[in-house]
């Protein structure tokens, strides 16, 4: 597929046109902390050097709270009313490979035994414009989970900085191709995709072998490492809520008043004590070490077994935000080390 | 550091403690909470401007020591929360050994470089750089450069706002809340065995992160911490949505001081503000 050259002005014009034609245009916020829907093209932030936002962009596919339907009491019965369908097209700019790749990864669970139309519809309605990343700090580990600062996974279009003011924009998906042809006034100049120099982009060193981590997890459901991790962790679930790949939700009914209400799908997380609490009062994950073990095992073992994907993109958000600096990268390095030791001991 | 390690070792060797909660560096030299179970472990202990965490939170989270007391390394502000826990009958004075540290202020965020600009605002008004209460005291006081109080102007502005304007301000802030409850989990004084938001049979507080649910949560927490918050600012530091929770806490603290002349966590023997009825208490500011 083609590769185009876009200047910052082109991008601004594109954003303006999209805002004017009813798109929800999403970009990192000016301070780079969140992804926000912008209402002026001047607020578009395209910057490869940005730190990953504190909170990921998952809320645009999987909102923190989403109405599934409303209910209304009608004498002795209940009428169910569909939630208003949201068909607004959206476009996301400035998403890093560790953001974009999360979408195909979690799509697998949202389309496993049941197709989650709420999630799917939003993905269908979204154009994702990925951006090569030049950030990489000690918390990042995309290269250890099969990705890199130039991965195109999950993007419809993918941008790589060429000069201060210009970007190469590669067309990745059919959806991206269609989008480009609909905006042919902006996408005019093409270049040879193979001629783009990505050597300038620092590729972080691999920190661990995910296969070795999984092999260790297979055999070490009980291990003193978990006790140590559970001890420091406060169980706040910040890590899950900022994570692009954490996708657990809770379904609740909430009353507006005694005759009507709504059923909602809300973010939930395995770090909460109440998450696995049974109605009987029994709690299989009654302690934080078990809950933290679940976090690591779900991402590097169970999800891999079930969906052949690692449920982590190495963005480092959970580490940066953790109030006690539980560093998932260091933990995975430690597990890899333990795996190596157990191989050499055998 | 040597003082801190020597005292900790002595506490283990004389079998006075089962474990000591302190700070240690990870492989990237970042300071974080660390629990030492032996004299050898204590060699990892550090204390510096990056020792941000209020370790008192672990006093109600970790299991009791199998033998001996719990040792804890604490700054003056953290010690206020230890005193508060004792005032509120959550721990006994005899169960803890407090290694107080002379503190030269701390960084705002755990992984930032310490500098004047990055210094926590609470340090500006600190009266307890040398802790008011401890079993051992280590470290030296140095001259420190204090940060600007960026929040003071916002607080003044909030005070002058109408109820509607205040509502709009907090609505915009609470809109960002993702209901992760990190503010609760890091708070040394949020120790309820079952938080009201976790009561699901029946539900009292909407668990959804809607305007209603977010207001309910943040207001309930503010109420429950009124006259109890000791201002360590851990909640604001932990909040991934960057909601300025300290504005609420400081306001509540000021009400307790101005209306009742009460400062929580300063005197082990003083009855708590909420737990004590005084016929002379003012009522005029209530509605
Ligand atoms: S953010 Fe940190 S403290 Fe909170 S649950 Fe996750 S690992 Fe534990
Ligand atoms: S687990 Fe942490 S590093 Fe992995 S995707 Fe989630 S936030 Fe990023
Ligand atoms: S408030 Fe005082 S004791 Fe607490 S960190 Fe700041 S200077 Fe240290
Ligand atoms: S409410 Fe916040 S500032 Fe107050 S004691 Fe709790 S964590 Fe510290
Ligand atoms: S830490 Fe912040 S986002 Fe999380 S529940 Fe508390 S106020 Fe909301």
The answer to whether residues A314 and A279 belong to one domain is yes
The model's pTM is: 0.93
The answer to whether residues A232 and A159 belong to one domain is no
Q: Is the Cβ pair B185, A242 closer than 8 Å?
A: no
Q: What is the pLDDT of residues A213-263, one digit of tens each?
A: 999 999 999 999 999 999 999 999 999 999 999 999 999 999 888 889 999
Ligand 4 midpoint to CA A210 (Å): 39
Q: What is the pLDDT of residues B138-180, one digit of tens each?
A: 999 999 999 889 899 999 999 999 999 999 999 999 999 999 9
The answer to whether residues A181 and A119 belong to one domain is yes
What is the distance between the alpha carbons of residues A123 and A111, in angstroms, rounded to a whole number? Answer: 12
Ligand 3 midpoint to CA B131 (Å): 9
The answer to whether residues A108 and A215 belong to one domain is no
Q: HSE (CB half, 13 Å, CA atoms) of A25?
A: 21
Confidence of residue A346 (pLDDT cuts 50, 70, 90): low
A80 assigned to some structural domain: no
Q: Which of B185, B198, B207 sits opposite A266 (nearest CB)?
A: B207
A291 assigned to some structural domain: yes
Q: Which of A232, A273, A325 sits opposite B110 (nearest CB)?
A: A325
The answer to whether residues A303 and A338 belong to one domain is yes
Q: What is the CA radius of gyration of chain A?
A: 22
Total domains, chain A? 2
Return the beta strands (E) in A207-321 as ranges.
249-257, 260-267
The answer to whether residues A30 and A157 belong to one domain is yes
Per the structure, the complete domain to which residue A246 belongs is given by: 210-250+267-345
Matching residue, tokens 């672990």: B58
A53 assigned to some structural domain: yes
Average predicted confidence (pLDDT) for chain B = 94
% of chain B at pLDDT higher than 90: 84
| pLDDT at position A343 over 80 | no
The answer to whether residues A232 and A153 belong to one domain is no
Q: Which atom of ligand 4 is the closest one to the Cα of B190?
A: 6
The answer to whether residues A222 and A168 belong to one domain is no
A72 assigned to some structural domain: no
What is the distance between the alpha carbons of residues B13 and B33, in angstroms, rounded to a whole number? Answer: 22
CA distances (Å), B42 to each of A125, A277, A326, B48, B60, in order? 56, 36, 20, 15, 22
A70 assigned to some structural domain: no
* Minimal CA separation from B191 to chain A, in Å: 12
Q: Is A310 helix (H, G, I), strand (E, B) or coil?
A: coil
Q: What is the pLDDT of residues A99-152, one digit of tens each?
A: 999 999 999 999 999 999 999 999 999 999 999 999 999 999 999 999 999 999
Which residues does B contribute to its contact with A (CB < 8 Å)?
Answer: 26-28, 30, 32-35, 53, 57, 61-62, 110-111, 176, 178-182, 184-186, 198, 200-201, 203, 206-210, 213, 234, 237-238, 240-242
Q: Please give the pLDDT value at position B287.
A: 56
A283 assigned to some structural domain: yes
Q: Please give the pLDDT value at position A140.
A: 97
The answer to whether residues A109 and A12 belong to one domain is yes
In DSSP terms, B31 is beta-bridged to B25
| pLDDT at position A277 over 80 | yes
The answer to whether residues A311 and A337 belong to one domain is yes
The answer to whether residues A293 and A322 belong to one domain is yes
A203 assigned to some structural domain: no
ipTM for the complex? Answer: 0.90
Q: Judging by DSSP bridges, how do beta strands B31-36 and B69-74 pair with one another?
A: unpaired
The answer to whether residues A96 and A242 belong to one domain is no
Q: Which of B26, B61, B178 sits opposite A64 (nearest CB)?
A: B178
For residues A8-13, average pLDDT: 96
Q: What is the pLDDT of residues B58-98, one digit of tens each?
A: 999 999 988 999 999 999 999 999 999 999 999 999 999 99
């Amino acid at each position: 597929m083609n590769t185009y050259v876009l200047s910052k002005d082109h991008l601004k014009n594109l954003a303006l046109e999209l805002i004017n034609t009813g798109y929800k245009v999403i970009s990192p916020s000016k301070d780079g902390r969140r992804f926000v829907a912008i209402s002026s093209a001047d607020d578009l932030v395209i910057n490869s050097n940005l730190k990953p936002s504190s909170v990921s962009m998952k809320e645009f596919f999987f909102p923190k709270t989403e109405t599934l339907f409303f209910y209304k009491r009608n004498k002795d019965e209940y009428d169910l009313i569909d939630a208003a369908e949201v068909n607004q097209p959206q476009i996301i700019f400035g998403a890093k490979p560790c953001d974009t790749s999360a979408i195909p990864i979690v799509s697998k669970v949202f389309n496993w035994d049941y197709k989650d139309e709420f999630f799917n519809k939003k993905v269908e309605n979204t154009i994702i414009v990925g951006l090569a990343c030049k950030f990489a700090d000690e918390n990042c580990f995309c290269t250890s989970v099969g990705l890199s600062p130039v991965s195109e996974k999950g993007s419809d279009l993918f941008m790589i900085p060429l000069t201060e003011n210009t970007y190469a924009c590669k067309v990745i998906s059919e959806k991206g191709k269609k989008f480009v042809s609909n905006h042919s006034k902006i996408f005019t100049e093409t270049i040879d995709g193979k001629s783009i120099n990505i050597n300038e982009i620092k590729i972080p060193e691999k920190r661990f072998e995910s296969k070795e981590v999984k092999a260790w997890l297979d055999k070490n459901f009980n291990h003193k490492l978990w006790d140590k991790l559970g001890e420091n962790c406060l169980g706040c679930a910040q890590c899950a809520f900022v994570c692009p790949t954490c996708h657990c939700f809770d379904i609740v009914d909430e009353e507006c008043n005694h005759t009507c209400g709504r059923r909602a799908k809300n973010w939930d997380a395995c770090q909460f004590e109440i998450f696995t609490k049974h109605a009987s009062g029994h709690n299989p994950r009654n302690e934080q070490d078990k809950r933290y073990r679940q976090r690591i095992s779900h991402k590097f073992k169970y999800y891999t077994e079930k969906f052949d994907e690692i449920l982590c993109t190495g963005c480092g958000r959970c580490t940066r935000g953790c109030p006690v600096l539980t560093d998932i990268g260091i933990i995975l390095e430690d597990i890899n080390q333990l795996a190596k030791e157990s191989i050499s001991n055998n | 550091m040597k003082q801190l390690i020597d005292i900790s070792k002595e506490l283990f060797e004389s079998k006075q403690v089962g474990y000591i909660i302190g700070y240690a560096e990870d492989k990237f030299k970042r300071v974080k909470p660390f629990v030492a179970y032996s004299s050898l472990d204590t060699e990892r202990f550090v204390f510096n401007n990056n020792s941000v965490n209020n370790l008192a939170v672990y006093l109600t989270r970790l299991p009791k020591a199998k033998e001996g007391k719990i040792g804890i390394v604490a700054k003056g502000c953290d010690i206020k929360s230890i005193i508060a826990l004792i005032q509120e009958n959550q721990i006994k004075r005899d169960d803890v050994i407090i290694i107080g540290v002379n503190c030269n202020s701390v960084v705002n965020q755990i992984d930032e470089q310490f500098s004047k600009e990055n210094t926590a605002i609470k340090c500006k008004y600190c009266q307890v750089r040398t802790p008011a209460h401890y079993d051992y005291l280590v470290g030296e006081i140095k001259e420190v450069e204090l940060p600007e109080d960026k929040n003071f102007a916002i607080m003044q502005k909030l005070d002058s706002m109408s109820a509607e304007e205040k509502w709009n301000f907090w609505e915009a802030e609470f809109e960002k809340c993702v209901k992760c409850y990190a503010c609760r989990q890091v708070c040394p004084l949020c120790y309820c065995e079952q938080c009201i938001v976790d009561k699901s049979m029946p539900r009292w507080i909407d668990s959804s992160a809607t305007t209603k649910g977010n207001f309910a949560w943040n207001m309930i927490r503010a109420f429950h911490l009124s006259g109890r918050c000791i201002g360590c600012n851990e909640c604001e530091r932990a909040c991934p949505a960057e909601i300025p929770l300290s504005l609420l806490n400081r306001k509540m603290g000021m009400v307790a001081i101005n209306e009742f002349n009460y400062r929580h966590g300063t005197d082990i023997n003083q009855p708590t503000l909420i737990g004590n009825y005084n016929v002379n208490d003012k009522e005029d500011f209530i509605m």
